[in-house]
Structure 1
Amino acid sequence: MAEPQRIVIVGTGLAGASAAGALRDRGYGGKITMFGTEHHRPYELPALSKDVLLGKADEPAWVHESSFYADNEIELQLGVSVLELRPGDHSIVDSDGAVRSYDRLLLATGSRPRVLPGAQGHVLRTIDDSLALKSNLREGRHVVIVGAGWIGCEVASAARTHGCRVTVVDPLAEPLVRVLGPEMGRMFRGLHEEHGVEFKLGTGVAGFSPSGVRLDDGTELLPDVTVLAVGATPRLELAEAAGLELADGGVAVDATLRTSAPDVFAAGDIAAHDHPRYDGRVRVEHWANAKDQGTYVAGPLLGVDEPYQKSPYFFTDQYDLGMEYRGLADPSDEVVVRGDLAKREFIAFWLRDGRLRAAMNVNMWDDGTALGALVDAQATVTAKQLQEADLGSLA
C-alpha cells in the first residue's frame, strides 16, 4: 500500500488531534488537514466536569501546545465543518464551499449532548459550556440535574463543592446503574447523599417550563440552574449521508478501524469497533478510547494492519472518591468486592462464566498494572482468588 500524500481528519477533538500527532511521530511527511466546528484548538474533555467546574482551572488540558500544529505543518481549519463526504471520488466539501481531495480520511466527529423535548438548561460538552455552567454554580443556588450518569454525578459533586443545593432526577433506581449495576450504584448514591445531594430516582421528567422542571410524579421543581445530563449522541450525519455502514449506534469499523468505504477510517465516540476481545462491536464514549484509538489509527492510515485491542478504561473523581474502571462488563454480571465497600476503599470485579470482564479500583491505587493485565486477559479466576490472592501473581 503506497503512503498517502493527503490525509484529511474530520474532527478536532482528542481522537483527531491524537491521530495527527501520531502521524508525525511515525515520520509521515504528507499533508494533514483537520476540520473542526469549534474555534478552540483541540483539547481534552475530562477537566470540563472536574477541575474547570470546581474552579481549579479556567481552561482545559490542550492536546498539544498552540505552536504544535504550525510547527508540524498540520493545517488546522477551526470553525470550518465538513458538509459532505464523497467516498467515491475521495473528496469532501467544507462549509466554506471548498472541495478537497484526500487519499485517506479519518472520521472523528465525536458526540453532541442529548437533549429532551422542550428542555431548557445547561449542557456540558465544550469548554464554553463548562465555563458558562461554572459561572452559575454559586452558594445557595438550587441546581437540578436531569440524569444520574457520570456527567450528572460529577456536576453534582462540583455544585455541592460550591455550596449549591442539588437535586438529581433519574428514571432509574440508582445512579450509574446501567454501567455498574445496583450494588455499585447504591455506593455512589450513598456518597452523594452524605454530601447533601437529594435524589429523585425512579422518576422521569414530564416537561419543562420557563421556571421549572415537571416530574412525572406530579412534583414541580423550581431550580435556579438546570443541567441536562442525559447522555450523548454520536455525530453520524456525515457518515450516514455518505452511505457508510452503521451498526450498534455508530459507524461500523473493523478491527483496524476501517469503515465500509475505501480509505475511510473512524475513531473515538462514533466508532462501533469489531473488537478482537469481545463478542460483537464495542462503542465507547470515554476519554481514553478517543486518545488511544486516535494514536493507534495513525498506523492503519499508513498501511499497518495490526488490530486495535485495548480494553476500555475510564475514571472519575467525585468529592474524596477517585475511581478507575477497566474492561467491559454487563451490570448483571457477578460482582466480587475486595476491600472495604463501606469505607469506599475497595476493588470491584465483574465475573461472567468464571472469566473476569471488568475491574474498578476505588481509592486504591497500588494494583493498576495487575488489574489491567487481568482484564486484558479476561482471566479465568474464582471469587475467592480475587478477594484473597495477590493480584500480581494472578496476572
Structure 2
Amino acid sequence: MPKVSQDNRTKKWRLKLSLNKKQIMFSFGSNKREALKLERRINSILDDSIQRLHLEKLIDNGKAEGVSNKELIQRILVNPDVSKAVTQEEKIEPEKLLESIDKFIAKKYEAFKTDSISNATFENYKNSLKKLKEFVEYKNLSFVDDFNEEVGNEFAFFLKDTKKLSNGSVSSYFNQCRVYFQWLIKSNLTALKNNPLPKKKVIKRKLNFTINDFFSLIDYMESKNPNERLIQFLQFALKTGWRISEITGINLETDVDWENEVVLRSGKTDKIKKPYQLINGSIAHLREWKARNVSNYAFSLKNGHKADKSRLGKNIKKYCLEAGLKAHILVHNLRRLFITTQMEQGANSNDIATYLGVSIRMVEQVYNATKQEDSATRLGKFSTIFQKEKQ
C-alpha cells in the first residue's frame, strides 16, 4: 500500500509504494497535496486486481522510457488504465473456459503469495470457481463466449438444485465468479460485453408440499399418540403465516388481548411489539394452550421453556417420514404456504404484506409459490380474511 511521509532531513514529501516486490519512490518536494492525491488514486487502483496490473505495466513502461518522476506521476493521475496502451499483439483471443478458470485461479494464488489477498479470500475464489468448473463440465461448454446470461441463470439453478445450496451461498458463489468474468472482459479474453452473472441472484425454490400434505400430516398425528403441542403449533403457524420466533415469543399473559383477538408481536425489523389482529380462528389455539397452564409462552416445552426451531423441525420431519409424505413440511415454509394459499383465493398482496410486516416484493417474488392444483378440496378448514366480498 502507498504511504506518504516527509523526509526528516530535507522536509520534502514523498510516497513509497511496494508493488510486486518492487520498492518505488515518488518525490513531491513541498507539495503535500499532490502526494496525498496520488496516494488516494493508487489506493483506488489497487482495489481492482485488473487495474493493479495496469498500474504495474504503466510504471514499468515509464521506467523503460526513462520518463521523469513528474511525468510518471501525471500518467498515473490522468490515465491509470493501461489497457489503452496494450498493443493489438498483446490482446488474446477468446479461449477455452476451463483453461481461463485455471489461469484466473493461478492469478489469485500469485496475489495471495504477495499478500495482496488473504488466504481466506483465495480459498473463497478457489471454491467458487471449482463449482463453476463443475457446471462447465456438466453443460459441456467449451469457450468463454458460450457463457451468456441464459447460461448464467442455469448456473444459479445448478447451484440451488444440484448442489442443494441456500440463497446466501448461491449469492456468495455468484459474487466470486462475477469477478472472474469481469477479469475476462477487462483483459480482452472474451467478446462478452456484459457480465453474464447477475449482481444478486435469488432463486425461489418451488413449494414442495401442498395444503393436502399439511392436512394429511395432521390427520396422521391425530390418529397416533398425538403430540398436541406440535399439532396446535402447526395449525396456528399455517393460519397466521407468522415466523417461528414470533409465535414462540408470544407471552399469553401480557401480549394477548383475548377480547379483541389481538396479539402484540415484534417482527424481524420491529424495535417494539406492535398489535396484530389474529385471523382464521387462530385465537382458539392460544386459548387451548393457555388452558393447559404449562407456561406463559405459547406452545412452550414441558419444562416451561420456549419452543426452539431445531426441535420443532426434527419432530415435524419424524412425523412426515412416519406418515409416508414425500415432502417434508419445513416450519418456515408454512409461511410460504399461507401466502400462496391466500393469494390463490384472491387475497391482495398489499394486504398480506401489511399483515405480515414484509414488503410487497417479498410476498410476490419470494414467498408466493406456484399454484397448487390440489388445494381446493379441504380449503373449508382454511378461510381467508383478505378475500373481498362479492359485489
Normalising by structure 1, report the TM-score.
Answer: 0.25
Larger Rg: 2
* Greater relative contact order structure (CA < 8 Å, 6+ sep): 1
Q: Which one has a larger percent strand, Structure 1 or Structure 2? A: 1
Q: Which one has a larger percent helix, Structure 1 or Structure 2? A: 2
Normalising by structure 2, report the TM-score.
Answer: 0.25
